[in-house]
Structure 1
């Protein structure tokens, strides 16, 4: 029997290709010193970072994109020590991030099996293919639109309320450990996404209909 009734997906790095690949291309294209980026990310996004870092405020919509870009660029350096131009830096950072067709196909499979499927995403001001996700995913909970962010319990509770499904019947899928742990602390099942095959395999253990669909496709 099916063990879950709904799935909540993260967006960047789950329904898209790996964010790290887009970041790597941006670092190379803008000739950014990787250590300056890693140092800033650790200070602003690590599990022991104090509340209210620029990343936290960007994700909840408290900090504008231009405001964040100015703070972010000030922490970065090029490999030859030059200052980094802030305008458009987030757009360039996410420019290589593309929807993963295999993961969107998995969303379609889950819907066809009768599950509720939603989105729960922290936004860095990056754009979403809204027409596509609004047609497939319900609810769509994006941090900057609701003023909350993962891994805070409140955003999981909001997503659950909009789903109308008990927490223990919902699987949350994310590519970041802190967000997976936050979901589990909120009572949801949670899965760390690595790639499509492993995530689909884990889902098939909870949703037997996926196995039947796979057999039908290969027959």
Structure 2
């Protein structure tokens, strides 16, 4: 992966935000959720071996509302003390600790300043996005629940490429989930698994002339 790229497509949760796992861990502790019950449900609904049409798949493509999904998820969860899971606002509480990462937004802005197209491709769990901020920076913005498609299936990548108007082999996709990285590879895109801002920046610096390996300035976190 050494040839320059013309466009970089970013995932949202876990790439342009802090780690999703941190928000989930805080929710599990605050709500007293038995961790194994959530892990078991996530595996059944989202693993590579999960059958098509699980509640998570239908949530991501907009076929389920948040309220409908909250009820289904709560029914699968157990609490440490045996009490009932609050059906209202399960997803809102799960994502309550997820915040935009200013360092990654700054990186996307630097890329755009260097003439590189930057786009967003995200699987939505009906969570909210800072739309004014992302719409001003990313073009196109492709969100699964709005287009009825989901990663890691090929059609959503092809839709993103069509909207970009850039050949697949000139586009780098950045995602924190391995299945989504593999899905991008399957349609001819180049792809990078995100672990942290510094590592992603260093990888991009090797592909994009003029991008420093270290941030020139860092927006204070807050």
Indicate the residue corresponding to 1:26 in structure 2: 27
- CA RMSD in angstroms comes to 1.6
What residue in structure 2 maps to residue 66 of structure 1?
Answer: 67
Q: Deviations over 1:175-204 (max 9, x none)?
A: 000000000001100000000000000000
Once residues 132 and 216 of structure 1 are traced to their aligned partners in structure 2, the CA distance between those partners, rounded to angstroms, is 19
Tell me: CA distance 1:75–1:215, structure 2 relative to 1, closer, same or farther (3 Å).
Answer: closer
1:133 is aligned to 134
Query: 1:74–1:83: 8 Å Cα contact kept in structure 2?
Result: no
Paired residues of 1:36 and 1:75 also in contact (CA < 8 A): yes
Change (3 A) 1:111 1:84: same
> What is the deviation of 1:83?
2.0
Query: Is the helix fraction higher in 1 or 2?
Result: 1
- Residue 9 of structure 1 corresponds to 10
Deviations 1:72-118 (A, max 9, x none): 00000110122211110100000000000000000011001101000
* Residues 204, 57 of structure 1: alpha-carbon distance in 2 compared, 3 angstrom cutoff: same
Judge conservation of contact 2:198–2:214 (CA < 8 Å) in 1: no
| Inter-partner Cα distance in structure 2 for 1:86 and 1:166 | 45
Cα distance per residue 1:13-38 (max 9 Å; x no partner):
00000000000000000000000000
Q: Distance in 2 between matches of 1:48 and 1:212?
A: 38
Question: Within 5 Å, which residues of 2 pair with 1:1-219?
Answer: 3-211=4-212
Report deviation, 1:215.
7.2
Shift in CA distance, 203/85, structure 1 to aligned 2, threshold 3 Å: same
SS in 2 for 1:151: coil
Deviations along 1:122-178, whole A, 9 cap, x unmatched? 000100000000000000000000000000100000000000000000000000000
Following TM superposition, where does structure 1 have runs of at least 4 consecutive aligned residues deviating by more than 4 angstroms?
Answer: 212-217
- For the residue of structure 1 that corresponds to 2:206, the secondary structure is helix
> What is the deviation of 1:65?
0.9
* Distance verdict in 2 for CA 1:48–1:7, change over 3 Å: same
**DSSP-derived class of the 1:127 partner:** coil
Counterpart-to-counterpart distance in 2, 1:85 and 1:144: 25
Aligned length: 217
Could you tell me how far apart the structure 2 residues matched to 1:65 and 1:195 are? 29
Distance 2:158 2:127 in 1: 24
Q: Answer whether contact 1:106 1:200 (CA < 8 A) is retained.
A: yes
Q: 1:2 Cα shift?
A: 6.4
